[in-house]
Amino acid sequence: MNRSVIRLLLIGAISALLAACAAPTQIATNKAASYTKEPRRIFVLTNVGSEFGSAFNASFQQRLKAIAMDCGAEMQIAVRSALELDEGIYTKMINAYRPDSVLTVHWTGGGTKQNGILILAIYDVRLIDKSAGAVVWRANTTFSRGSPLISLADRGEAFAIDLTNKMKADQILRSCQPIKPKT
């Protein structure tokens, strides 16, 4: 091969690597100073997946549960339907599970490219201590879809890791170490 072909291949490879990158999740949090517990039985109520689809949702849920288990917690996850007529169904699910904490993760908006593809998602996250009946930790997250070269399943997993790493940094989950994101 001549040098110009090698140069073009090298430029193409570098461009593909740069395109595969995703911006880190931006997470701003607030924790109640009086909250010193560590959740051990968590019920998650979420609508994650309605924005990026089922592969993102399944991967997010699977990784979130695995991380909770590594941290010594049990977790049940319910996906809130935007079309649910009986909102009381979720209260019944929570009460049946008998958690010490309820984590809500709700997609609240985002940004799109000109072609209408969602590239940025904003989530409101709240941890409610059931015994106190109060929100004890809250997060506002801005999550980037990243390149189409990265699978939605990988991005769902990345969101679970980013979210729980922040919970670890804020001393919500203390029985486990932060997870290094994939490079």
pLDDT in tens, 46-61: 998 778 889 999 999 9
Helix (H, G, I), strand (E, B) or coil at 120: strand
Residue 86 has pLDDT above 80, yes or no: yes
Residue 118 has pLDDT above 80, yes or no: no
Of 118, 165, 163, the C-alpha closest to 141 is 163
| pLDDT tens digits, one per residue of 127-159 | 999 999 999 999 999 998 888 888 999 999 999
Domain boundaries, the chain: 22-169
Q: What is the mean pLDDT of the chain?
A: 87
Looking at residue 1, its pLDDT comes to: 61
Instruction: Please state whether beta strands 134-144 and 118-129 pair in parallel, antiparallel, or not at all (unpaired).
Output: antiparallel
Residue 165 has pLDDT above 50, yes or no: yes
Fold (topology level) of 22-169: Double Stranded RNA Binding Domain (3.30.160)
Model confidence band, residue 40 (pLDDT cutoffs 50, 70, 90): very high
Q: Which residue has the higher pLDDT, 3 or 156?
A: 156
CB contact at 8 A, 102 and 125 = no
| 90's tokens | 């979720």
Looking at residue 98, its pLDDT comes to: 98
Looking at residue 24, its pLDDT comes to: 79
